[in-house]
A = this chain, B = another copy of it.
Amino acid sequence: MPPETLTPERILEATEEVLRRYGPAKATVVDVARALGVSHGSVYRHFRTKAALREAVTARWLDRTSEQLATIVDDEGAAADRLGRWLATLFEAKRHKAGDDPELFATYMTLIGESGGVVERHVGDLEAQLAKIIEAGVGEGAFHAASPTTTAHAVFAATGRFHDPCYAAEWSRPEITADFEAVRDLVLRGLRG
C-alpha cells in the first residue's frame, strides 16, 4: 500500500493536534513530522519555516469561521435578515471556539499574538462579507449607507463585544444573548435610518 500523500491539509491537521497536545511553547516541526511519520524536511517542503506553518494553521482556524459565514452572504432573503443572522452566527462560532475547548482557544490566541497579518486578513474577509450584505440592502432600498465598506467597518467595530476574543470571558454569562440582541437591533436600526 503506498503511503498517503503528504498534503498541506494533512500537515495542518497534524499541527493542530500537536499544538493541542504540547501547547504553543513546546510544539515543534519535528513533533509534527513524527506525528505524520515523515521527515521534518518533508514538512519544510510545504511550509518553509516554523513561523509559516504556525501562521497557516492559524489562518485555517480563522477561515473555518469565514467559510461558515460566507454561505449566509449568498443566501436568499432580505439583507436585514441576512445581516442579523450573519452577526448571530459569528457570535455563535466565536463563543463555541472559546467555550468548547478553552485550551485550544488559548493556544490560538498565542499564535495570533505572534503572527503577522493573519488576523487583519481575517477581519478584512469578514468585513468584505458584511459590505456585500450591506450593499444588497442598499440595493433593496432597506439600508442607507454612503459607503458599504466604511459602514461594514463600523458594524464590525460596533459588534466587537460579541466576536472580539478580548471579551471571551463574558460570552458564558446568561445575559449575553439579550445584550447581543440589543446591539444587533440598534445596528440594524442604524442601517435602516
**Contact mask for chain A residues 166-192; partner B; CB cutoff 8 A; 1 contact, 0 none:** 110000000000010011011111111
Residues of chain B lying within 8 A (CB to CB) of residue A179: 153-154, 157
Report the bound CA distance from A155 to B160 in whole Å: 12
Report the bound CA distance from A33 to B35 in whole Å: 60
Report the bound CA distance from A185 to B185 in whole Å: 15
Chain A interface residue bracket vs B: 20 to 34
**How many protomers of this protein does the assembly include?**
2
Tell yes or no: A150 within 8 A of B by CB: yes
Residues of chain B lying within 8 A (CB to CB) of residue A150: 182
Residues of chain B lying within 8 A (CB to CB) of residue A164: 166
Cβ-neighbour of A187 out of B160, B188, B190 (below 8 A): B190
Q: Which residue of B lies closest to A157 (CB)?
A: B161
Contacts A189-B189, A189-B193, A193-B190 known; A182 to B154 CB distance under 8 Å? yes
Cβ-neighbour of A160 out of B153, B160, B191 (below 8 A): B160
Cβ-neighbour of A186 out of B166, B182, B187 (below 8 A): B187
Cβ-neighbour of A155 out of B151, B153, B186, B188 (below 8 A): B186
Q: Which residue of B lies closest to A165 (CB)?
A: B166
Q: Which residue of B lies closest to A170 (CB)?
A: B157
Report the bound CA distance from A55 to B164 in whole Å: 28
Residues of chain B lying within 8 A (CB to CB) of residue A185: 154, 190
Q: Which residues of A contact B (CB under 8 A)?
A: 144, 150-151, 153-155, 157-161, 164, 166-167, 179, 182-183, 185-193
